[in-house]
Amino acid sequence: QSALTQFASVSGSPGQSITISCTGTSSDVGSYNLVSWFQQHPGKAPKLMIYEGSKRPSGVSNRFSGSKSGNTASLTISGLQAEDEADYYCCSYAGSSTLVFGGGTKLTVL
């Protein structure tokens, strides 16, 4: 049950695109198309942004997209906006009805 690996921070200017990566193993990310991405603003509960790798819940902007290649999942945010500044966490199914999260990436909008 080792945490998925995310870079600690990423930054971008308004209007730019950024990609946040999430690296797991063949026991979690690589084995299942069940990666979710969450956005968390300070002092708030996490919010689901992407599920099952690339699906967007109702109400989530189409500026958010997800993908996967091998053991690495990615979240891309296009047309960066100030309100996108937050912490982002990936989460993968890890078998036996367990989940594993990434360590989180802090997005700064310059």
Nearer to another protein among residue 94 and residue 109 (C-beta): 94
Binding-residue total with another protein (CB under 8 A) = 26
Residue with tokens 């937050």: 86
State how far Cα 104 lies from the chain centre.
8
* Cβ closest to another protein, residue 85 vs residue 87: 87
Residue 37 binds to another protein (criterion: CB under 8 A) = no
Q: Going residue by residue from 38 to 77, which x/- string records binding to another protein, judged by CB under 8 A?
A: x-x----xxxx--xx----x--------------------
Shortest distance, position 86 Cβ to another protein, whole Å: 13
DSSP string, 18-47: EEEEEE--TTTTTT-S-EEEEEE-TTS--E
Does position 7 bind another protein by CB under 8 A?
A: no
* Cβ neighbours of residue 73 closer than 8 Å, sequence gap 6 or more: 21, 22, 24, 29, 35, 37, 53, 66, 67, 90, 92
Binding stretches for another protein (CB under 8 A): 1, 3, 34, 36, 38, 40, 45-48, 51-52, 57, 87, 89, 91, 93, 96-104
